[in-house]
Amino acid sequence: MHIPPRVLTVAGSDSGGGAGVQADLKTMLALGTHGMSVLTAVTAQNSLGVQGAWELPAEAVRAQFRSVVDDIGVQAVKTGMLSSAVLVETVAELLAGLRVPVVIDPVGVSKHGDALLAASALDAVRTQLLPTATVATPNLDEVAQLTGVRVEEEADMRRAAAAILDFGPRWALIKGGHLTAGHGDGEQAVDLLTDGTEEHWLRAPRHDNRHTHGTGCTLASAIAAQLAKGDTVPRAARAAKGYVTGAIAAGFRLGGGIGPVDHGWRLRGEH
């Protein structure tokens, strides 16, 4: 009997299905793993933005985590929206007891610019959550929020990575997708993966498609899935970059705003 690697996401729900736990589980399935979830918050969300968010109690998060880990077990964990200092501290404490790869996506704002992390939680992310990370995957806005480093061009990404690594993750993946033409290669989406010694520049074609909701969740989940399958961090990051690039290329319109990336593009043999 084949039992797929098990991957746990600890994140919020996106009612529109484009990001959050929904994107995580779709990604994990597409990459041949069994996805499981610990829900941290419920959002009312669609292609136009986040209309409301309700945080779950810490005891509910802790109970979900223990239910899954103590019975089913996990080969990797990915975190997303944690929203408050209490939840960040709760999840950090739970992760500290694991001996499996952990991918921390320090979600600060949604694709539409809606705040998903309280300012009061930033210090807990820095001092308690990031030290548990095998890989931390901040975008440029999250780098600025956490470290004060503002990335204007590719050369700044090394400084950003060093600032993130100072908080304790083993690897930092600085996502440069928000760099615009004239600040790096406008034809490519460039990320920097480093542990402070090794350096891996991950480049992929930049697709002219505005429907990119869920990109960050998808990338972090893909890395976690690959780590659960036994990849090294550099191999996992490269595979995840390839998967999310295809998902962006196949992103589709939903509603009146920004549609989601397509998590199932490989299943149809596209691209």
Task: List, as one string, the DSSP characters of the chain.
Answer: -----EEEEEEEEETTSSSHHHHHHHHHHHTT-EEEEEEEEEEEEETTEEEEEEEPPHHHHHHHHHHHHHHT--SEEEE---BSHHHHHHHHHHHHT--S-EEE----B-TTS-B-B-GGGHHHIIIIIGGG-SEE--BHHHHHHHH-----STTHHHHHHHHHHTTS-SEEEEE-TTPPTTSS-TTEEEEEEESSS-EEEEEEEPP--S--BTHHHHHHHHHHHHHHTT--HHHHHHHHHHHHHHHHHT----TTS--B--TTGGGGT--
- Max CA-CA distance within the chain? 53
Amino acid identity of residue 37, one-letter, is: S
Residue 73 backbone zone (phi > 0: left; psi -120 to 50: alpha; other: beta): left
Give catalytic residues, as residue numbers. Answer: 175, 212, 214-217
